[in-house]
Amino acid sequence: MPINSKKTVVPKGFLFSAVEAAVKKPGRKDLALIYSEHEAKMAGMFTTNSVKAAPVKLDMGLIRQGKGRAIIVNSGNANACTGRQGMKDAVEMCRLVANHMGINDDYVYVCSTGVIGTPMPMARIRPIIGDLVAKLGSASINDVAAAIMTTDTFSKIIVKKKRIGGRMITVTGICKGAGMIQPNMATMLSFVLTDAAIESKALGEALRQAVNRSFNRITIDGDMSTNDTVLIMANGAAGNEVIKKGSDEYEAFSGMLQRLTYELSELIVRDGEGATKFVEVEIKNARTEKEAEKGAFAIANSLLVKTAIYGNDANWGRLMAALGYSGIMLKEEKTDITINGLKVVKGGIATGVDVQANERLKEKKIKIIVDLHLGEGCVKVLTCDLTENYVQINAEYRT
């Protein structure tokens, strides 16, 4: 669950800052800086939306060097669909940080989240970057996690510690995102910081594995954003021997990272816009893992399923209908469905326990298991219910 204490453990060698730039409106810190005292190895994953925000395009180029020192991030404006000016603004944000710090432009990454299509308010951002840099060390990672929130109702931080290669390694991850969540990584920003020493290639591989089984398997509303970004920085300050791919140390690090991103992605779903319930959809024994994933997302994205869960209605026919249109192989007479431990469908037909299942749906955590009995493809997808409140939040977002 969310950690809001000021004492959040952070890896050695990272400093933070957060200021109010009134990007969208005044009243909160909305511009933050993450800084590694030493050059860090870096890796990243980005939205697969063909409409990409300027900062995403910029970072996708920068990340090829596999290293960096700083990330500047704002909420309130996504700097997406802002044309050539948007790219100029993203570049300027990086350059201003670099100039104030006396580091190379290429060492600064930029991320933005918020409204699409509005030019960045550079007149307010530009003059405050000196202040942002000067204040490095005065803020905690909690302040950064709070500064990047948009419709989030709580800030999201997960910490993992583990002794690897004789040294205590810390990984601290923050993320934001509560709507427009769908693979891959919709309106989601996540920054993962570690003091591990690790090879660039190993870092990238570990991040890919972790993201594909966490952030890429959650959905709130099926909409994919233009800005999704996960960046990881590993500055080596723990002093461990450099972790190489294929080693036991790599496995230990990779496992820790997977648990961390999984728990972060759980926090996003728990904070799903307007959600009252946390829903895990598991497809078992599909023909392939890919089909399992397709089926699970069809259920997890079905408005009829999500509203039925909200209404405590074990309307499993909607699950069957969603599976049916997902395009995966399905044999009705082989299909079993379980809702919170209660088998509601056996061999494609009702077991007659819908009333009891309605009761189970009153729980806050819902677990749906569909066993297709066709192969060995198994996948879990996380989602939430759909409520009037989701509609309200998204009908009024810009106003």
The answer to whether residue 7 forms part of the interface with a second copy (CB under 8 A) is no
Site size toward a second copy, by CB under 8 A: 66
Site string for a second copy, 226-265 (x = CB under 8 A): x---------------------------------------
The answer to whether residue 363 forms part of the interface with a second copy (CB under 8 A) is no
Stretch that binds a second copy, among 14-22, 259-267, 309-317, 374-382 (CB under 8 A): 309-317
Q: Judge residue 36's burial from the number of C-beta atoms within 10 Å of its C-beta, 0-12 exposed, 13-18 middle, 19 or more buried.
A: buried
CB 49 within 8 A of CB 225: yes
Which listed residue (61, 201, 324, 373) binds a second copy by CB under 8 A?
324
Angle at the Cα of 337 (from 336 to 339), degrees rounded to 5?
Answer: 155
The total of other beta-carbon atoms located within 10 Å of residue 216's CB is 24
Q: Which two tokens stand for residue 206?
A: 């570990």
19 pairs with which residues across the strands? 31
The answer to whether residue 333 forms part of the interface with a second copy (CB under 8 A) is yes
The answer to whether residue 353 forms part of the interface with a second copy (CB under 8 A) is no
* Mutual angle of helices 289-301 and 316-325, in 10-degree steps: 130
CB 285 within 8 A of CB 200: no
Sequence-separated (6 or more) residues with CB below 8 Å from residue 356: 342
Which listed residue (118, 150, 155, 172) binds a second copy by CB under 8 A?
118
Catalytic residues: 187
Which listed residue (322, 339, 366, 372) binds a second copy by CB under 8 A?
322
The answer to whether residue 355 forms part of the interface with a second copy (CB under 8 A) is no
The answer to whether residue 332 forms part of the interface with a second copy (CB under 8 A) is yes
What DSSP letter does each residue of 325-394 carry, written as one string?
HTT----GGG-EEEETTEEEEETTEE-S-HHHHHHHTTSSEEEEEEE--SSSEEEEEEEE---HHHHHHH
Which listed residue (38, 130, 347, 363) binds a second copy by CB under 8 A?
347
Shortest reach from residue 51's CB to a second copy, in Å: 3
The answer to whether residue 130 forms part of the interface with a second copy (CB under 8 A) is no
Cα dist from 283 to 16, 290, 292, 378, 389, whole Å: 41, 11, 5, 5, 28
Shortest reach from residue 340's CB to a second copy, in Å: 17
Taking alpha carbons only, the member of 110, 119, 121, 118 closest to residue 57 is 110
The answer to whether residue 364 forms part of the interface with a second copy (CB under 8 A) is no
Contact set for a second copy, span 33-72 (CB under 8 A)? 48-52
Contact set for a second copy, span 167-206 (CB under 8 A)? 179-180, 182
Shortest reach from residue 220's CB to a second copy, in Å: 9
Reduced 3-state DSSP string for 28-40: CCCEEEEEEEEEE
- Binding interface with a second copy (CB under 8 A): 48-52, 78, 80-83, 85, 115-119, 179-180, 182, 221-226, 301-304, 307-308, 310-311, 313, 315-318, 320-325, 327, 330, 332-333, 345, 347-350, 354, 386-388, 390-392, 394-399
